[in-house]
Every structure is written in C-alpha cells, then in structure tokens.
Amino acid sequence: MVVNKWLVAFGSYLQMLGRVFRRPDRMRMFGRRYLNELYQLGIDSVGIVLLISLFIGAVICIQFKMNIQSSWMPLWVPGYATREIMLLEFSSSIMCLILSGKVGSNIASELGTMRVTQQIDALEIMGVNSANYLILPKILGLITMIPILVIFSVVAGILGAYATAYIGHIGTVAELTQGMQYDFHQWFFWMGVIKAVFFAFIISSVSSYYGYNVKGGAVEVGKSSTNAVVSSSILILFSDTFLTQLLS
Amino acid sequence: MITLQHIKKAFGDKQVLKDISTVFESGKTNLIIGRSGSGKTVLMNCIVGLLQPDEGEILYDAENVVTMTKYERTLLRRRMGMLFQGSALFDSMTVLENVMFPLDMFSNDSYKERKRRAMFCLDRVNLGEAADKLPEELSGGMQKRAAIARAISMQPQYLFCDEPNSGLDPKTSLVIDKLIFELTKENNMTTIVNTHDMNSVMGIGENILFLSEGYKEWQGCNAEIMDSKNQKLNDFIFASDFSKRLKAANEENIELKDGINNQ
C-alpha cells in the first residue's frame, strides 16, 4: 500500500515536471520571475550560508587542533582537514540540507498558499501553464545560485579556520596555510559543485511538488511545507551516497 | 453562447451532477443558483475546464470543450475571464500589475498601450486611484472590483463569476452586481454567475438555472421566479421569515388591487 502511494506520488511528480519543462509562454515574464527567484532563493540565502560556514570552519579547525592532534600528527592537519571537509561534504551536502529547510519551506508554503487562495486556478483559467510559470524559474534560479553559494561557503569556512589562528591564536597562520595547500585536488571542488546542483534540483522540484499539489487550507499548507523539507532532506542524503560513490 | 448537454459528474459513489442540459445566452447575465452542496461550483468548474465531466458536452458557441486538445483549451481560456470567490489577486503584485498580467502574458502591444488598457479597466470599476496599492491594502469590495478589472482586461467573450458577493455587505453587493450587468451588456459577453444571493437573483438574473441535489430543477428569468409553483425553488427563495412575510405582503397587496379593480 505504501509502495503504491509512493509510485502514485512519483508519477504525479514526473507529470508535474513534464508541465514545468516547457517553453515559457512569454520569455519576458519568465526573465522577470527568474531574476526575482535568483534574489529570493539565492541572494537572500547568502547571509545564513556565510554565517554557518564561517563558524563550522572555525569549529572544525579548533576540534582538530585541540582534541585530535597528537605528537605524531603533522601540524598542518587541521588546515588540511578543514579544507577537505568543507570542499567534500559541508559546503555541498550539509549546506544543501540546511537550505532545504530555508528554501524548501519557502517554496512549498508560497505555492501552497497560492493554491488554496485560487491564485493558481486563476493562472490556469487565463490559459497560463501555471507549473511552468511558477516552478521553472524557481528550479533554474536555485540551480544557478547554488554553485555561488558553495563557493561562498568554502571561502567562509576557510576564513573561519584562519580566524582561529588570527583571533584565537590556536596554531599559526603558516601551519594552516601549509595544510590548506597540501595535496589539493581541483576535482574535489567540482565534485562539491556537481553534487550541489543535483541537490538544488531536488530541493526546488520536490518542494514545488508538495506546494503545488496542496488540497485544503492553512493546515495542509503547513503540512506540505514540513513534508517538503523532510522529503528533500531524505532524498539529498540518499543521492549524496550515490553521487559520492559515482564521482569519487 | 454556452450550451451544456447531458452533463454528469461523480466523485466516487457520489453523483454530484445528474444529466444537466441548458443554454447560457450571450449578452445576458446567466445565474446558477441553489443551496450549498447542490452542485453549483462543480458545474461552474466543469464549464471553465477545471474539472472534466464524466459524460456530456460543453459547447462554447460551436467548440466542444470536452473533446478539445490541451492546446485548444488553452487558446479558449484566453477568451475567458473569471472572478473567483476570494478574488484570487496575486498578492505579490500591485493592483495595476494584476490587471496588466494577462496583457503582459498574451498581448503583443507596447508597454504604454498595455498600461493604458489596464488603467481603462481600473477606471471602469472606479479603482484608478488604487492602481499602485497591493491587494492586501484593499477592502473586500475593492478586491472584487480589481478582480473584475483583471477579468475583463483581455476583453473576454465569456465571463465567469463564482459567488461574487460572498463576504460583502448588501450595498457593495449591489455595486458588484451592477458592474457585472453593465459589463455584460457593454461587451456582449456570455456571463455566468454562481450565487445564492437573492438580491443578485432579483437584480440581474436574466436567465436563472436552479439546481437541487445535482438536478436542473427550474430555469427562467427573475420576473418569473416569484410566481413559480416549483416547491423546491420556493423553499429556496422563501427560506427566511423576512422573505416569507414579504411574499405574503406582496400577495395581499395584489389581492387588494385585484379587489379594487373588480369593483
């Protein structure tokens, strides 16, 4: 019964994507909405991404320096570990998990409210492909912004690590720099970006699906928002496992 | 003109519309009335294409909606305007942007021309001064008028109004009714109004379809409705004590007049 329910939901999700990925009715209107979504989903998230990454970068560095480092471990390890964790997992996967809460609930509640207040019906009655008009700019907007957010997150994490040296005087700048530069593989950066693009698609499309298909009133909008965050998070974790294996 | 032929619609085991056939004429305000749960909204949703009937045909002049392709239906919808019960204005846009929206989407006119048309529609509903306001800054009646302006911005052939007076005071309801009636005449539209407001029925009901338990129970105009012998219709119209007393007073007056004439 549960499998049947999932299959029905998956089929409905694919049908929705079929309506989303069409040529927009009017490119001018699409462009306007796309720019708006870039701002709303991407630029509005820069602050929280920088803040979290800065502190996590600092904490990783402190943990390695204070709690893990021993006499047999080279002094550059905290810098190296901070870089690798930020590049490989935090800035792509964990940051997207956090964004699925912020952006996912935003998308689901916006579309859900539009559904229950008949704004989506109004678009349909006008002859507008509502799925394409509302959802495509969100998906493309988040996919466009996510590599930028990943870069910001990596940079903020590294700055956080340096802050421990400059402000907290935990280790030296030279040790950190040595670790940051040690055995650097450019591919790791691209791996993080590629994963984040997949996760951006999951967050925007799954949250849109839950919001777009709301039936009922305010309670259902709230539920759809929660379901959007839970489902996107689970899908991100699953796909992270497969993508990491595939791209490594 | 919109023609319905043998429309049936069920949700699971519950048959909501039971073989409804009728004609909604152009240039007239056609009303669908009935008690809550009688099938009015389902019928309206079938007509505008938000629901697919299980059986029957819906003809917009000569075009059958039921057998249309999605693309043909989309083109037809661009000739429709709809006023929703809750207005359904886009809350992130100003009133002017709301009215300009259909023009922005489908018109090839210049921005200046589109704005001129939108302002004309807003002025027509006496909302010119509220053009730059957001929907949340408007009263219920003003929101309805803004939604009417948006509905007529593309000069539709067909206008649909779902409970246009719900949540409005009687005086504002009269303004909305008058507006719908005048716009129908001015643009020779086929207007269908879904309502259970008796003021609307008596004021603008040129062609009234009364639904009861999914059946077409009665059809006529507002001049005929008071004299109808249909029991279900009379139960609906004269549901309140006030309307019963009004009818009784009206009949006494008529009898009195008849008496005077006979003498």
Asked if pLDDT for residue A49 goes beyond 90, the answer is yes
Inter-chain CB proximity B106 and A25 less than 8 Å? yes
Identify the residue whose tokens are 């004021």: B203
Of A29, A121, A125, the CB nearest to B105: A29
Question: How far, in Å, CA of B190 to CA of B102, rounded?
Answer: 19
Half-sphere exposure of B41 (CA within 13 A, CB side): 10
Q: Give me the numbers of helices (H) and strands (E) for chain A, helices first please.
A: 11, 0
In this prediction, residue A129 carries a pLDDT of 92
Residue A17 covered by a domain: no
- CB of A80 within 8 A of CB of A183? yes
Number of domains in chain A: 1
- CB of B243 within 8 A of CB of B225? no
- What region, left, alpha or beta, does residue A196 occupy, with left being phi > 0 and alpha being psi -120 to 50 degrees? alpha
Q: How far apart are the first and last CA of chain B?
A: 48
Question: How far, in Å, CA of A81 to CA of A177, rounded?
Answer: 12
DSSP state of B54: S
- CB of A247 within 8 A of CB of A195? yes
- CB of B5 within 8 A of CB of B56? yes
Residue A90 covered by a domain: yes
Within 10 A of B20 (CB to CB), how many other CB atoms are there? 22
Q: Which domain holds residue A47?
A: 28-247
pLDDT digits (tens, 9 = 90+) for A162-203: 998 888 778 888 989 999 999 888 999 999 999 999 999 999
Inter-chain CB proximity B104 and A117 less than 8 Å? no
CA distance B170 to chain A (A): 24
Within 10 A of B76 (CB to CB), how many other CB atoms are there? 18
Query: Quick one: tokens of B263?
Result: 């003498």
- Which of these, B96, B87, B138, B133, lies nearest to B118 by C-alpha position? B96
Residue A19 covered by a domain: no
Q: Tell me which residues of chain A, numbers 29 to 58, contact chain B at a CB-CB cutoff of 8 Å.
A: 29
Q: Is the sign of the CA dihedral B135, B141, B142, B146 positive or negative?
A: positive
Residue A14 covered by a domain: no
Residue A49 covered by a domain: yes
Question: How far, in Å, CA of B104 to CA of B77, rounded?
Answer: 16
In this prediction, residue B73 carries a pLDDT of 85
Partners of B30 in beta bridges: B192, B207
Residues 6+ apart with CB under 8 A from B50: A121, A124, A125
Query: Quick one: tokens of B165?
Result: 């007076």
Query: What percent of chain A clears pLDDT 90, i.e. is strictly above it?
Result: 79
H-helix or E-strand containing A73? none
Residue A140 covered by a domain: yes
- CB of A211 within 8 A of CB of A110? yes
In this prediction, residue B261 carries a pLDDT of 53
Of A83-92, A130-139, A191-200, B231-240, where does mean pLDDT reach its minimum? B231-240
In this prediction, residue B68 carries a pLDDT of 85
Query: Quick one: tokens of B73?
Result: 């239906």
Which of B46, B74, B80, B111 to probe the A interface (max A CBs under 10 A)? B74
In this prediction, residue B67 carries a pLDDT of 85
From first to last of its 263 residues, what are the pLDDT tens digits of chain B? 899 999 999 998 899 999 999 999 999 999 999 888 888 989 998 998 888 899 999 999 888 888 888 888 888 888 899 998 888 999 999 999 999 999 999 888 999 999 999 999 999 888 889 999 999 999 988 999 999 999 999 889 999 999 888 888 888 888 888 989 998 998 899 999 998 888 888 888 899 999 988 899 899 888 888 878 888 888 888 766 666 666 677 666 666 555 545 54
CA distance A15 to chain B (A): 14
* Chain B residues whose beta carbon lies within 8 Å of the beta carbon of residue A30: none
* Chain B residues whose beta carbon lies within 8 Å of the beta carbon of residue A127: 74-78, 80, 106
* Chain B residues whose beta carbon lies within 8 Å of the beta carbon of residue A15: none
What does pLDDT average to over chain B?
87
- Which of these, B82, B66, B50, B90, lies nearest to B5 by C-alpha position? B66
Q: Which domains does chain B have, with CATH numbers?
A: 23-51+72-262 (3.40.50.300)
Partners of B218 in beta bridges: B210
E strands, chain B, are 2-11, 14-24, 29-34, 55-60, 63-64, 80-83, 158-162, 190-194, 207-212, 215-220
In this prediction, residue B243 carries a pLDDT of 65
Give SS3 for B197: coil
In this prediction, residue B115 carries a pLDDT of 94
In this prediction, residue B225 carries a pLDDT of 83
Question: How far, in Å, CA of B160 to CA of B44, rounded?
Answer: 8
Of B80, B91, B101, the CB nearest to A125: B80
- CB of B144 within 8 A of CB of B83? yes
Residue A41 covered by a domain: yes
* Chain A residues whose beta carbon lies within 8 Å of the beta carbon of residue B98: none
pLDDT digits (tens, 9 = 90+) for A97-110: 999 999 999 999 99
In this prediction, residue B262 carries a pLDDT of 54
